[in-house]
Amino acid sequence: MRKQSMKSDGGEETRLFPTPFLFNGAMTDVVSRAGEAWTRACLEWQQEVARFASARIDGDLELARSLAQCQGVVDLVKLQQKWAATAVRDYSEETGQLMQIATRAIREGAPEQASAGPTSE
pLDDT score, position 116: 47
pLDDT score, position 32: 84
pTM: 0.67
Task: Please list the pLDDT of the chain residue by residue as tens digits (121 residues).
Answer: 455 555 666 666 665 555 555 667 777 787 888 888 899 999 999 999 999 999 999 999 999 999 999 999 999 999 999 999 999 999 999 999 999 999 999 888 877 654 444 544 4
Residue 109 burial by CB count (10 A; 0-12/13-18/19+): exposed, middle or buried?
Answer: buried
Q: Residue 5: helix, strand or coil by DSSP?
A: strand
pLDDT score, position 41: 93
For residue 106, which of 90, 117, 120, 91 has the smallest C-alpha distance?
A: 117
pLDDT score, position 14: 62
pLDDT score, position 1: 47
Length of the chain in terms of residues written = 121
What CA–CA distance (Å, rounded) separates 19 from 3? 12
pLDDT score, position 114: 47
